[in-house]
Structure 1
């Protein structure tokens, strides 16, 4: 099978996303021109466009020290520099979690480093990102190799501190070093807690973010990495060494920090068996070397409980050399192209589908509703045309009877519109119940009470009991939200169904809120919390520090889930009746025009032909606008840029210039 280069496919993905953005940007003005726009619909369009503009593809690299992880990042993404962009040498390199991206707001290259002492604060890294004063800033002079190497080398820095300081920071516990007869006087710890590298590389400018994590200790002592950053990545590459095999610390990382990612998503997880060049023995035949590598690939897959196709034997170092020196045979032998091809197809395919689903659930549904409203207008225009054409040569009595019948229909319709306002008030009351179930003040009271109980608990069993009670109470709140949201959904459906059944409104599917994704997210968070608490690393750390860091990350994420659900519900309740309100307005105007036509025709038969021509023009224009909407919908649903020939796996297409 043809191997697809990741860089090329990411470029194709960017072009596809630009086409989606252009289509959405057409839809807002279309709504304005056709009298279907509201502040809420324009806000939803703007929100979706901002989401697409700031969308990032995050690939996380996880490995114990000395597995060649940084070299792999250099080989896949930065080989076009003709050298190593990131420091990569024998032994430890990256000493703190590092995010590599391009800051599109500042449009500048830099290294920002968060001092390790911030671990003493009860603040998450995501919150500290907003406080520039907390970070040490180094500009990156991209034209100077020496300056860049010096600045990027800061990520590797360590410092010596006393055992007391290391313990206080949660970076040392005697239980982790049972072989030591007595604690050393000084402990080497990372100088930095987190690093941000903004670099103007083409891939990074297109929205790629690389998360580089430095081994078991960082994953175990920074719950935010495990609970927030890794789950939000579209892909996780777990890097092993072919020279070491699956070590005990590798297995601990897999069991406690990566396996949960696999169970949550069936795609996006890759195991990289690096350094296969250590198995290239000049005294063996190529077939024997391949058999040895395949055997180790199979053993690795069996130990981790994954399929062999998810394990990629490679040599990052040889792949980098091959790219820099343009040696195609060595590049093929390094296995790097197979890994890149999988990233290009599997990971970008996941990302594309996420965007298709997100845009389809919001803008796509709005487009469908606009098409239904237009279709209703077409049907009404056709009905009126047929009615007027039948009036040719009819007596005044026939016209008068039709006018009387129309007035009766109008009277009944206005009565139903009044009942709609009553239903609207009922929906408002139901909405208040739903909002109350997601009230953040109530959640904060639960959180604060649990925190006091945890602080007063001196045993691990007591701590676990408090955490269990916390989650049970949060789950009960979520269950109430589920119940209230379902009642709200039923009420909205009944309101729509009344007008569809009694007045022949075009069938429109109102936007519906689903609490399912938030329930699933809460359950996955609970599982990750259980894994973190039961991790040998965290169990051996100072209890007060572990509880503080763990509780901060866990509670922050749980509260964030409720906050996002609350925002989604508010947006839903504001916009869910919009399509029906438009239909009610249009139907009212249509009935008024119809009655006005009949009155004028009764006064002068010369008006009849004029009104027929006018309605024919309206029908033609509505049909033209409907075609325009269908074209927009087709472009939104089009995945051709990543799947040109509609094959199971995406394929690269010729480059197109995005305007």
Structure 2
């Protein structure tokens, strides 16, 4: 095992994505070359490519204040700078949630800081992302580690305010430190949120890192619990090995992290940091390891996590070992074990998510196209067989073949005409589905809930109003799921009808994930309901905490419903596309054959020339089918095994 493991896995994952994207682009060209192109189908493939392009792999670090989360990030990802990049010294650490990534749109390096005073509004952080004027932006000199580290010290900035002002900003008084110089006042973070973009090799390849500062941030920023943490592929919960699981650790775990355990495609891990505080020169290494094993077992019981998902590490010693290239110290720090665990799990989860959201659908498209080519091949062979039975200069037989082709052509036109009312029916069903979750319906529900919150006079009343909102949303999605089931059965019925009555190849229709809609909503509602119960919010809707929580909840649900509407719209446009494509392909083959036969009638040409042309067409089709089969095999192939060669170690990528 080397310190390059995370970089190797990220590199392999990126190469795999690039290969998938290459195959999808090749398939788009292949469709045009084989007269199977449709605007709707091409747009869907473009959307799948965009999903790959915009893909991020996110690792979130959560835990109580001063557990060494930021030092752990420095040790795992940024040791190649030869110094700390993020502030993690004692008493000088990040004070606000910080996202580290590479901005692919602007391709610039910067530190953006959102002032803490923006908490006085009910605007979610997600909305502020589109308001550049609200952020303080500081350029980063990515080629100067010392200067970059100096700028990053801005993340540690605090300000002194009266207790009442701190409470208004959403802080809990009991979690704040009193100012040493100004009695009666408390110290709070100067910034609400930070965005850091710079071209580190891993960040450029799509890695995103989220650093959270502790309970006062998690407790007062609903987006962290409802959006940012659940969107990660791994959440690393950091504690101190010498303290074990403290009461405040358990508070964060129970209120903000534990619910993530059952999420698909998300790994949840615990880190017992600062194991070097347990190192004792008077004790043997074996005795120390036994002590660590006891702490791991106790942590496993308390957090209900598998022992294999709990890693004792020393971030400080791991960083030092990497900077000094001290392999013995590196092994003793256990940093490599954590890197291996995260890289295997995180990329595995993300790969599975892309498999479900991109590859399965694209592979189904390619399979359908292969079926169309096989049908076209059978048509050509049938035409060839008829021509081979045609006697030389047999005008009567040729006329019969022309009439047969004309009849087939008219039959395919009737089939296409029969598809038109069916498409209208599917369009109506798509409109019904979208109407269930229309902007008007959701806006009315939001207004009703706001009224209930305004009239509530107790915490119980506020929680009840929010739960009524969740219940009504759930009922709406329940109706949507029911109608989606009906839509799926309708699509299956149409496909079987055209298969049985018109002799089309059997194709499986694209179905709506009816149960998936409700499952995804239930996950969010569960988290939001728990958070509303645990927040200890104020007694009236004028409370900023309540308004921010409600606004964040509404924003998250609205974003979810917008994604569902896009999916419904796409389904309505493409539900019958494979049938339409099959009919159009077969009709085109018949048209071309009819034209050739009519040309033979006009010119008196023999069948031999047409038979030769058909042989060439069949050979060409076989070549195109082989290419499509190769695309399908490549798409469905698992990523290659990681290799040690030709990969830049993330810990050394910035050494010059």
Q: Give yes or no for TM over 0.5.
A: yes
The residue aligned with 2:295 is 296
SS at match of 1:83: coil
CA deviations on 1:111-147 (whole Å, 9 max, x unpaired) are 1100000011121111101111100111122344553
CA distance in 1, matches of 2:470, 2:281: 58
Taking a change above 3 Å as real, the CA distance of residues 613 and 305 of structure 1, as seen in their structure-2 partners, is same
The residue aligned with 2:509 is 510
Taking a change above 3 Å as real, the CA distance of residues 395 and 110 of structure 1, as seen in their structure-2 partners, is closer
**Residue correspondence of structure 1 range 160-179 to structure 2 within 5 A:** 160-173=160-173
Asked if structure 2 preserves the Cα contact closer than 8 Å seen for 1:273 and 1:311, the reply is: yes
CA distance in 2, matches of 1:343, 1:165: 40
CA distance in 2, matches of 1:230, 1:72: 18
CA distance in 2, matches of 1:156, 1:313: 26
2:485 aligned with 1:486: yes
Taking a change above 3 Å as real, the CA distance of residues 542 and 279 of structure 1, as seen in their structure-2 partners, is farther
Asked if structure 1 preserves the Cα contact closer than 8 Å seen for 2:110 and 2:196, the reply is: yes
SS at match of 1:221: coil
Bigger drift between 389-398 and 416-425 goes to: 389-398
Asked if structure 2 preserves the Cα contact closer than 8 Å seen for 1:440 and 1:562, the reply is: no
The residue aligned with 2:367 is 368
Asked if structure 1 preserves the Cα contact closer than 8 Å seen for 2:97 and 2:192, the reply is: yes
CA distance in 2, matches of 1:347, 1:144: 30
CA distance in 1, matches of 2:183, 2:447: 39
The residue aligned with 1:549 is 548
The residue aligned with 1:150 is 150
CA distance in 1, matches of 2:380, 2:413: 21
The residue aligned with 1:253 is 252
Taking a change above 3 Å as real, the CA distance of residues 2 and 515 of structure 1, as seen in their structure-2 partners, is farther
Asked if structure 1 preserves the Cα contact closer than 8 Å seen for 2:97 and 2:212, the reply is: yes
Asked if structure 2 preserves the Cα contact closer than 8 Å seen for 1:113 and 1:194, the reply is: yes
CA distance in 2, matches of 1:429, 1:142: 54
The residue aligned with 2:475 is 476
CA distance in 2, matches of 1:117, 1:2: 45
Bigger drift between 488-497 and 557-566 goes to: 488-497
Q: CA deviation at 1:567?
A: 0.8
Q: CA deviation at 1:397?
A: 6.0
CA deviations on 1:200-220 (whole Å, 9 max, x unpaired) are 211111111110000111101
Aligned residues: 645
Q: CA deviation at 1:510?
A: 2.9
The residue aligned with 2:85 is 85
Asked if structure 1 preserves the Cα contact closer than 8 Å seen for 2:121 and 2:548, the reply is: no
CA deviations on 1:177-236 (whole Å, 9 max, x unpaired) are 9x9xxx962121111000111122111111111100001111010001000000001110
SS at match of 2:87: coil
CA deviations on 1:458-477 (whole Å, 9 max, x unpaired) are 11222122222212211121
CA deviations on 1:350-369 (whole Å, 9 max, x unpaired) are 11222222222332222222
Give the counterpart of 1:655 among 628, 646, 652: 646
Bigger drift between 319-328 and 399-408 goes to: 399-408
The residue aligned with 2:354 is 355
Where do 5+ consecutive residues of structure 2 fail to align?
649-656
SS at match of 1:218: helix
Asked if structure 2 preserves the Cα contact closer than 8 Å seen for 1:375 and 1:506, the reply is: no
Taking a change above 3 Å as real, the CA distance of residues 289 and 218 of structure 1, as seen in their structure-2 partners, is same
The residue aligned with 1:70 is 70
CA distance in 1, matches of 2:124, 2:299: 35
Structural RMSD (CA): 2.6
Asked if structure 1 preserves the Cα contact closer than 8 Å seen for 2:265 and 2:350, the reply is: no
Q: CA deviation at 1:493?
A: 2.4
Asked if structure 1 preserves the Cα contact closer than 8 Å seen for 2:392 and 2:607, the reply is: no
Asked if structure 2 preserves the Cα contact closer than 8 Å seen for 1:60 and 1:233, the reply is: yes
SS at match of 1:214: coil
Bigger drift between 5-14 and 513-522 goes to: 513-522
Asked if structure 2 preserves the Cα contact closer than 8 Å seen for 1:60 and 1:211, the reply is: yes
Asked if structure 1 preserves the Cα contact closer than 8 Å seen for 2:384 and 2:614, the reply is: yes
CA deviations on 1:252-274 (whole Å, 9 max, x unpaired) are 11111111111224751110011
Bigger drift between 201-210 and 85-94 goes to: 85-94
Asked if structure 1 preserves the Cα contact closer than 8 Å seen for 2:239 and 2:271, the reply is: yes
Asked if structure 1 preserves the Cα contact closer than 8 Å seen for 2:28 and 2:42, the reply is: yes
Bigger drift between 300-309 and 142-151 goes to: 142-151
**Residue correspondence of structure 1 range 410-425 to structure 2 within 5 A:** 410-425=409-424
Asked if structure 1 preserves the Cα contact closer than 8 Å seen for 2:481 and 2:514, the reply is: yes
Asked if structure 2 preserves the Cα contact closer than 8 Å seen for 1:94 and 1:214, the reply is: yes
Asked if structure 1 preserves the Cα contact closer than 8 Å seen for 2:415 and 2:502, the reply is: no
Asked if structure 1 preserves the Cα contact closer than 8 Å seen for 2:427 and 2:573, the reply is: no
TM-score normalised by structure 2 residue count = 0.92
The residue aligned with 1:582 is 581
Asked if structure 2 preserves the Cα contact closer than 8 Å seen for 1:315 and 1:334, the reply is: yes
CA distance in 2, matches of 1:63, 1:145: 27
Bigger drift between 199-208 and 501-510 goes to: 501-510
